[in-house]
Amino acid sequence: MPAYTLKERLDIARVIAEQAGQMIRQARQEQSFGRHYKAGDELVTDADVAVDRFISDQLASHFPGETRLSEELSPDQAFSESAPQLWVVDPIDGTVNFAQGLRHVAVSIGWMEDGVAKMGVVHAPFLEETFTAAEGAGAFCNDQPIRPSGANELARSLVATGFPYQREAREALMPRLAAVLANCRDIRRNGAAALDICDVACGRLDAYYESVSPWDFVAGWVIAREAGASVGHLYDVPTDVPEDLYSQHLLVSTPAVHSAMVRLLRDADSAA
Ligand code: IPD
Ligand code: CA
Ligand code: CA
């Protein structure tokens, strides 16, 4: 197997993500996808599975032997010592948006080495934006450098979040929502975690918090970190999971509001 540089990995992953985006646009145009439900209420379309299959085949042919964690085809492929190189893929982030005809939809492809997220591509086919980053090389949107906002107080901060598909799990998140609405500029629920994180990276949003799955955040995490945003968790990360793969209690924000956001959200949790 050739030893790829990070830049080469990024270039290949970007082409794959943009081709996947083309499949997504076509599926919407033709309305050619079936709708199903997994785990009760969670929508999955035929397009999610077809795009995952396409990305997976492409990665397998370019990077044989490297492990893939992807939402539809291999969601249980957790990080292990035997997977020093790991691709983390969400074929369609924003499935409900996709099925409803909304535009906040993304393909998310991240790559980790020895537990550290090093490369990420988030492509939004309907917004015609591709966010990219590789460790140490900065972050870009459509090849233009990006950086987070200059927000430095909660009252002027626009905050995004999301909610789990399981309705019974939403109640516990209400105190955080109330705290944000009471203390920040406002809230957004745009429906694609990868794009929420990229929107913090490029300064359209000031903070984002949520508990998600690895494929929702790994690529965006690299992009936000490389852009100069603060990426972290509201609570300590268990010692048996790499920080860059631990998807619970994420907080991504512009640096000057990070510690105030941590306090706000933790206080909301403990008052619940
Ligand atoms: C979902 C979106 C949503 C977030 C959910 C995710 P999916 O991903 O990112 O914004 O709130 O937690 O599951 O199911 O559309 O790939
Ligand atoms: Ca997702
Ligand atoms: Ca998905």
Q: Identify which ligand lies nearest to the alpha carbon of 48.
A: 3
What's residue 42's pLDDT? 83
pLDDT per residue as tens digits for the range 245-268: 999 999 999 999 999 999 999 999
End of a domain among 145, 162, 193?
Answer: 145
Whole-number Å distance, alpha carbon 163 to ligand 1 midpoint, is 8
CA of 194, closest atom in ligand 1: 9
Q: What is the pLDDT of residue 81?
A: 46
State both tokens at 121. Answer: 């591509």
Other CB atoms within 10 A of residue 27 CB: 19
> Which residue has its alpha carbon closest to ligand 1 atom 15?
94
Could you tell me if residue 71 is inside a domain?
yes
Residue located nearest, by CA, to atom 11 of ligand 1: 162
Q: Which of 212, 215, 247 to mutate to test the pocket of ligand 1 (most atoms within 8 A of CB)?
A: 212
Q: Tell whether 69 and 134 lie within a shared domain.
A: yes
Domain boundary among the residues 145, 168, 191 is at 145
What pTM was estimated for this model as a whole? Answer: 0.96
Closest CA relative to residue 149, chosen from 256, 234, 261: 256
What number is the average pLDDT over the span 170-198? Answer: 98
Contacts 24+ apart (CB under 8 A), 137-144: 137/6, 137/7, 137/226, 138/226, 138/227, 139/201, 139/222, 139/223, 139/224, 139/226, 139/227, 141/198, 141/202
Angstrom distance (rounded) from CA 237 to CA 73? 26
Q: Which domain holds residue 141?
A: 6-145
- Between 143 and 80, the more confident residue is 143
Residues 59-76 as b/e (b if ≥16 CB within 10 A, e otherwise) read beebbeebbbbbbbbbee
Mean pLDDT (the chain) is 94
DSSP 242: -
- pLDDT of 31: 83
CATH at 125: 3.30.540.10
Domain count, the chain: 2
Closest CA to 164 of 210, 127, 216: 210
CA 142 / ligand 3 centre spacing (Å):
22
Judge contact between 218 and 118, C-beta under 8 A: no
Closest ligand to residue 92's CA: 3
Same-domain status, 25 and 122: yes
Ligand whose nearest atom lies closest to the CA of 41: 1
Ligand 2 center from residue 93 Cα (angstroms):
4
Q: Of 125, 145, 165, which marks where a domain is finished?
A: 145
Which atom of ligand 1 has the smallest separation from the CA of 190?
A: 10
Nearest atom in ligand 1 to 44's CA: 14
Would strands 186-188 and 158-161 be described as parallel, antiparallel, or unpaired?
Answer: parallel
Dump pLDDT digits (tens) for 128-182. Answer: 999 999 999 999 999 999 999 999 999 999 999 999 999 999 999 999 999 999 9
- Binding-site residue numbers are 71, 90, 92-93, 216
Interval between CA 92 and ligand 2 midpoint (Å): 7
**Which residues, other chains included, contact 33 with Cβ-Cβ below 8 Å and sequence gap of 6+?**
27, 45, 46, 47, 50, 99
Distance, C-alpha 235 to centroid of its chain: 19
Task: Identify whether residues 60 and 38 lie together within a single domain.
Answer: yes
Distance 143 CA to ligand 2 centre (A): 24
Binding-site residue numbers for Mg(2+) are 71, 90, 92-93, 216
Q: What residues does ligand 1 touch, defined as CB less than 6 Å away?
A: 90, 92-95, 162-164, 191-193, 210, 212, 216
Ligand 1 atom having least distance to the Cα of 95? 15
Residue 187 placed within a domain: yes
Nearest-CA neighbor of 121 among 28, 15, 192? Answer: 15
Same domain, 171 and 213: yes
The token duo for 236 is 């300590």
Q: Pick the residue whose CA is nearest to atom 16 on ligand 1.
A: 93
In this structure, the answer to whether residues 102 and 179 fall within a common structural domain is: no
Residue 197 lies in a domain: yes
| CATH number of the domain where residue 203 is located | 3.40.190.80
Q: How far is the CA of 15 from the centre of ligand 1 (A)?
A: 23
Q: Is residue 240 part of a domain?
A: yes
